[in-house]
A and B are shown apart, each in its own frame.
Chain A
Amino acid sequence: MSETTREPDARRLATDARDRVRFEEDALALSDQVYRVARHLVGSREEAEDLMQETYARAFRSWRSFQPGTNLRAWLLRILTNLNIDRGRRVQRTPDMQPLEEGDYFLYNKLEASADGTTDEERVVERLSQNDVVAALSEVPHDFRDVVVLVDVGDFTYADAAQILDIPIGTVMSRLHRGRRILKQAMAESAVGGEES
């Protein structure tokens, strides 16, 4: 091979290596944000850690399939949710027929009713503990929880969530609506008990 053909090859390899390093750095810089979402898509911290490692290993192997300029965080989470499904971690199915939850004002009304005359909306929130919220979120069925976590914790748009989970945007909206209500119902139960009226 002559010098003239080797030189463009060397340049191409150097560009390739530079792009790969940049991709890996960008992906690692997002790992905290990806972990926060991953942590609540699966049941335990150990599972989340395994899934993160599998996700990053796969992302680094297939970095060329990422289109620069698109949403890298969404791309990483797409890999993560696919791996989560492939590994059979999600055996629970959507309980489509369960009775419809309470309305959106339910939690406020419940907390207000149980507060000793405290109707200030900021103080009412203080009646919930961090543990109440984390425990309540883990009670939300997977299909609903995935959407709630992506949109309300990960701050993804409906369109991003639809792409990550590979479901239609209308499904994202209906699951989000329902998932938030289930979450609020679970928070109400842990904060003031489910049986009171």
Chain B
Amino acid sequence: MTASDPCAHCEEVMQQYMDRVLTDAERAEAEAHLDACAYCRKRYRFEVNLRQFVRQAVTAEPMPVELKRKLAELRTPLQ
């Protein structure tokens, strides 16, 4: 289960850890390693910041007002 290189293993499971899809045992193992390893902890914090940054960068462009109006016009007219 545990790779011979625990940092390589941590790197491999980090995205799933952040997605909260690891089993309880895998999660506990990842957390124990992060608690003990400054190298991986640093990279974990970076990954958390990076995800936030990507989401903000990508969603910065709002929906055009004109499009919103066009969509509203597609509604079924009231009789």
Stretch at the interface among A1-9, A35-43, A78-86, A88-96: A35-43
Give the residue name and chain of the A residue nearest to B39 (CB). Answer: A105
Q: Are A125 and B53 in contact (CB under 8 A)?
A: yes
Tell me whether chain B's interface is mostly helix, strand or loop, or mixed. Answer: helix
- Is A49 in contact with chain B by the CB < 8 A criterion? yes
The docked-state distance in angstroms from the alpha carbon of A122 to that of B49 is 7
Count residues on chain B whose CB falls below 8 Å from chain A CBs: 37
Residues of the A chain whose Cβ atoms lie less than 8 Å from the Cβ of B63? 31-32, 35-36, 52
Pairwise interchain contact B15-A104, C-beta atoms closer than 8 A = yes
A152 to B57, CA, bound (A): 12
Determine whether the beta carbon of B42 is less than 8 Å from that of A119: yes
Please name all residues of chain A whose beta carbon is closer than 8 Å to the beta carbon of B60 when the two chains form the complex: 130
Residues B24-79 near A (CB distance < 8 A): 42-43, 45-47, 49-51, 53-64, 67-68, 70-72, 74-76, 78-79
Query: Pick the contact of A133 from B57, B71, B74, B78 — CB < 8 Å?
Result: B57
Show the binding face of A for B, using Cβ within 8 Å.
17, 20-21, 24, 28, 31-32, 35-36, 39-40, 45, 49, 52-53, 56-57, 60, 103-105, 107-108, 119, 121-122, 124-125, 128, 130, 133-134, 137, 149, 151-153, 158, 176-177, 180, 183-184
User: Which residues of B come within 8 Å of A, CB atoms?
Assistant: 8, 11-12, 14-15, 19, 21, 42-43, 45-47, 49-51, 53-64, 67-68, 70-72, 74-76, 78-79
Between-chain CB contacts (< 8 Å), 25 pairs: A17-B78, A21-B75, A28-B75, A31-B63, A36-B63, A45-B64, A49-B64, A52-B63, A52-B71, A53-B74, A56-B71, A60-B74, A60-B75, A104-B15, A104-B43, A105-B11, A107-B50, A121-B43, A125-B46, A125-B49, A134-B58, A152-B54, A153-B54, A177-B15, A183-B54
